[in-house]
Structure 1
């Protein structure tokens, strides 16, 4: 009998519908293509912003915007479109945010910025900064100050304010008694310097720790004045210019500090035979006896104007005009510019409604008449210095309403410039256009151009040319046309002084260079290392001696001079 192999059972098994377990719900997949797209788009936008920006500051701002948009985009994707339960998404997001915050607080001691807004982080395990070391030294070695708690005493003299309560000063024509030197022109008097600094370098006479500030110095005879922040005290300090020894200091309980703006005062004292006038970052205006430091009177310009301190601190150095002291206080209460009686501190006149600028007010002779020029945050105003009457106004506003560089006079024409992509322009006050309901507006000799952008640096003039740091790079501009002749030398956000046919350039990194003031080409002649940290302070040269400072130290060098 034939045996057949057993066939497999091909019967389709039908499951019992009553015994089937329900399938688990499908979990939505993570949509990882969205974060990749966000990263690519923000990276592309940042690169485009960098290409379109015509300054280093603009490039850094583009990076900040790109990073911010990336964080917002990724956070939005994770919280609303990444999938998963709402509890899980928010728990992960909160944990990451909390972790970053705790780690940052635990690790970061300080964040500071260069002039182009590039950030730097100083961690708790890093060695002390130069400013911290200076503060430590000053707290242990600076002489005790008896001048902190004085009551105001008026100058009981004539209306010009010549004091008789202490030793009087005698001034010479080359004394550096105000911001940027005689006439605030940024010009150095005396013999031309020798330029072989490699073979014959400047000689260090003294070096001294100082408190944080972006103030410059004033020098008359053998006395030097500057402003500093020492712990919680805002100080006006007098030094022996020959030795660097501290002679006296005035202390006020005030402190300005921001990550981008740094710490301490930013204005520079103005010195007369009667008084040294100093303006603090929070608006405290002191009149002090120049040789003793005694308090003569005190005001707060922000309180007097009913204004708020501007974002980066009150900066414009006080201007002495005849019997008055003029400041740019800002505000919208008709007191943006205030003139005080030099002797008593009483308000003589107040005028205008503008946001305060950061430039020092100045007097120029235009058409043989003294004109007060005030560079507000929203434009340049010409005023009668005797009564505050507005003569004309040229609107000039950048994104942040930050105008710092003093206007410059070429004949009867006025050159002005500012950073943040503003540029520069040349005005003719002899040609005014009436503005309905406002003050006249001067004509433009040539329209605004971006050939020179003075962010928070002053420029100098020689002949028909302006030399200044165009967002950190030295440039030469023909004032007749507004065209840039050359651009070279990345000194970053330092300062420039004119010494005959040479430019003395204080670089942000601390070194000092000499450059030919030649409209044909850029030529750096020599340089030497004067300071070693971020330097935004204007240098001074007095009788062949170079005085430099930053937020941690001040130094004096004997410069080799031609014919000496």
Structure 2
């Protein structure tokens, strides 16, 4: 009698679903990073979504479809879940990089996310006589009185080639703790000033340039907090004679005495103009011209720009409403007088300094935050640049009197400045394109070279070298060369994220982030 032969059922591990998930994940990552032209932060968001979906599918395969012995499946799953649970209970996201990569920190860290005052909770006021009697004040420097330098355009009139700091990194002159915020330093007369957030207060702080000691601090109740954007004030103060202007993260414009920090006048601009705090905080630095203070009025405000008297704080005039941005107003010497240039959300406009009206307006079309200040160029030309994959444009301005118009020369995506500003020399523009250093031809917008990932840092241009402060706290000195980049010197100045603009009050270089500030003397002091 023939007996029927049966094939035993295959009870081995079922690998093919895992292989399919692995292939799908690899393909999706390839498309996200190499198949679609998009900003790096969009690639990071896509990567997180891909890994999340992949993780769910892997867990589903492991628990349901793998055919691994049940006890082993549950045991390993419990161990992995336990480790992840401990990590979640002990770690927290304290911030993100400029490309939206999470920055993790311990939940029990000594300095909580609200920040602690690194200095004694007192206000110290020292008058001008201290500068004449205390040897610690006996340092001389160039002035650096406003955002991006003397002319508000990243240009510093100093020749650095051949100096010792390009061969050997300089020693730290002083280093001090800082409150939170993305404000830069300004310097005049042996004093260095910046904005900070101390707990639930925002402050304008004045330090001795020669020692880093706190001299005075002007405080007011205000706090901006954001895991993504970071805490604290973002605007850099402006020094004008014996006055210092600061703009807080919620639109508090303050004018204080340079010597003592005594409040002269203030305006809650957003409240007075019916505006509100932009999503990522109020960041434009005050513009001072002809004894007038000019600032944007905020998101949804009745006015676009408002003008105050420097001495009295009286409101002088308001300009027509435009959508607020994170860029700072500046001036251009075109026509018979200066124009006020403002790169707002969705366009760039020129305003008459005498009459509260537009002279010209050019739509830009970007729905993303505009941060970089426009680059004022010879021949009545203007370069604007935005991040988030948008790009740059070169505009030609024509007109006289009150009759002006703007036309587009070129528009391209070779330079996409997100947080940083750009600089021009001899017909070539240098800047950070989504975190990578790039040089483009000003006349055509075509890329000359692109090399060196420095993150979303900042830059200043000297007569013969380019200073780049990286997002990770490195300092890079490089040649100004449209043919190829050449790094002259590099050192680590700060730890942690550094979005703050540098201050180069020669011979002093002051850098800071939301934790500390460091000062270098780039040449020997006499």
TM-score, normalised to structure 1, is: 0.77
Which digits, 9 at most, give the CA deviation of each residue in 1:115-174, with x for residues without a partner?
11111222336x557x87x955x45x4361279xxxxxxxxxxxxxxxxx988999x994
Q: Given the alignment, which residue of 466, 471, 486 partners 1:508? A: 471
3-state secondary structure, aligned to 1:258? coil
Q: Is the contact between residue 327 and residue 342 of structure 2 (CA under 8 Å) also seen in structure 1? A: yes
Name the structure 2 match of 1:312: 280
Contact persistence 2:348–2:362 (CA under 8 A) = yes
Q: 1:375 to 1:123 in 2, by over 3 A?
A: same
Among residues 31, 52, 71, which one is paired with 1:48 in the alignment?
31
The structure 2 residue matched to 1:343, chosen from 297, 302, 311, is: 311
Shift of 1:183: 1.1
For residues 212 and 43 of structure 1, the distance between their equivalents in structure 2, rounded to whole angstroms, comes to 40
Shift of 1:50: 2.2
Q: Counterparts of 1:275-314 in structure 2 under 5 Å?
A: 275-314=243-282
Q: Tell me how far 1:425 sits from its aligned partner.
A: 0.6
CA contact (8 A) 2:44 2:101 kept: yes
Partner of 1:389: 357
Structure-2 separation of matches of 1:229 and 1:397? 34
Q: From 478, 486, 498, give the equivalent of 1:535.
A: 498
Q: Report the counterpart of residue 372 of structure 2 in structure 1.
A: 405
* CA distance in 2 between partners of 1:474 and 1:259 (Å): 27
- How far residue 100 of structure 1 moved from its aligned partner, in angstroms, is 12
Residue in 1 that maps onto 2:443: 480
Match of 2:408 among 406, 421, 444: 444
Matched, 1:144 2:122: yes
Work out which of the residue numbers 403, 409, 416 in structure 2 matches 1:453. Answer: 416
TM-fit CA distance, 1:108: 3.1
Match among 95, 120, 124 for residue 112 of structure 1: 95
Distance 1:308 1:135 in 2: 24
- 1:212 & 1:334 partners in 2: Cα distance? 31
- 2:196 pairs with 1:228: yes
**8 A contact 2:437–2:450 mirrored in 1:** yes
The equivalences for 1:245-264 within 5 A come to 245-264=213-232
The CA distance in 1 between the partners of 2:131 and 2:150, in whole Å, is 16
Q: Give distance in 2, aligned partners of 1:54 and 1:460.
A: 24
Q: CA deviation at 1:275?
A: 1.2
How far does residue 370 in structure 1 lie from its aligned partner after superposition? Answer: 0.7
CA separation in 2, counterparts of 1:354 and 1:343? 27
Counterparts of 1:441 and 1:426 in 2: how far apart (Å)? 14
Give the corresponding residue for 2:136: none
- Determine helix, strand or coil for the equivalent of 1:183: coil
d(CA) in 2 for partners of 1:366, 1:173: 31
* CA distance in structure 1 between the partners assigned to 2:270 and 2:54 by the alignment: 39
User: Judging changes above 3 Å, is the alpha-carbon distance between structure 1 residues 491 and 368 closer, same or farther for their aligned structure 2 residues?
Assistant: farther
Q: Deviations over 1:459-503 (max 9, x none)?
A: 111111111111111111111110110111111111111111210
Which of the two has higher C-alpha Rg?
1
CA distance in 1 between counterparts of 2:83 and 2:224 reads: 28
Report the Cα offset of residue 266 of structure 1. Answer: 0.4
Distance in structure 2 (CA, Å) of the matches to 1:332 and 1:59: 31
Q: Secondary structure at the match of 2:339?
A: strand
- For 1:468 and 1:520, locate their aligned partners in 2 and report how far apart those are by CA, in whole Å: 15
Q: Which sits farther off after the overlay, 281-290 or 331-340?
A: 331-340
Using the alignment, how far apart are the partners of 1:180 and 1:290 within structure 2?
20
Instruction: Answer yes or no: is the 8 Å Cα contact 2:159–2:464 preserved in 1.
Output: no
Q: Determine the structure 2 residue equivalent to 1:273.
A: 241
For residues 235 and 213 of structure 2, the distance between their equivalents in structure 1, rounded to whole angstroms, comes to: 22
Structure 1 Cα separation of the partners of residues 90 and 312 of structure 2: 50
Shift of 1:343: 2.1
Gaps of 5+ in 2: 1-14, 66-80, 133-139
Distance 1:416 1:107, change over 3 A: same
Q: TM-score, normalised by structure 2?
A: 0.83
Question: Taking structure 1 as reference, are residues 346 and 169 closer, same or farther at Cα in structure 2, changes over 3 Å only?
Answer: farther
Identify the residue that residue 499 of structure 1 maps to in structure 2.
Answer: 462
Q: Once the 2 structures are TM-superposed, how far is the Cα of residue 189 of structure 1 from its aligned partner? A: 2.8
1:416 to 2:384 alignment? yes
Give me the whole-angstrom Cα distance separating, in 2, the residues matched to 1:507 and 1:469: 10
CA distance in 2, matches of 1:426, 1:246: 44
SS in 2 for 1:557: strand
Aligned-partner SS, 1:330:
coil
- What are the equivalent positions in structure 2 for 1:26-105 lying under 5 Å apart? 44-51=27-34, 52-66=36-50
- Matches of 2:54 and 2:315 in 1, distance apart? 52
Q: 1:330, 1:354 within 8 Å by CA — same for their partners in 2?
A: no
Distance, in Å, in 2 between the alignment partners of 1:104 and 1:258 is 22
- Deviation at 1:388? 2.7
**Other structure's SS at 1:421 match:** coil
Distance 1:146 1:240 in 2: 12
1:519 CA displacement? 0.5
C-alpha separation in 2, matches of 1:175 and 1:327: 22
Corresponding residue pairs, total: 482
Aligned residue in 2 for 1:155: none
Conserved? CA contact 2:270–2:276, under 8 Å: yes
Counterparts of 2:424 and 2:462, CA distance in 1: 11
* Distance in 2 (alpha carbons) for counterparts of 1:173 and 1:104: 49
The 1:355–1:302 alpha-carbon spacing in structure 2 relative to 1, beyond 3 Å, is same
Structure 1 residue 353 displacement after superposition: 2.4
Q: Are 1:489 and 2:452 an aligned pair?
A: yes
Matches within 5 A, 1:140-289: 141-142=119-120, 144-145=122-123, 174-194=142-162, 197=165, 199-289=167-257
Distance in 1 (alpha carbons) for counterparts of 2:419 and 2:226:
16
| 1:352 Cα deviation from its structure 2 partner | 2.4
Give the Å deviation of 1:72.
10
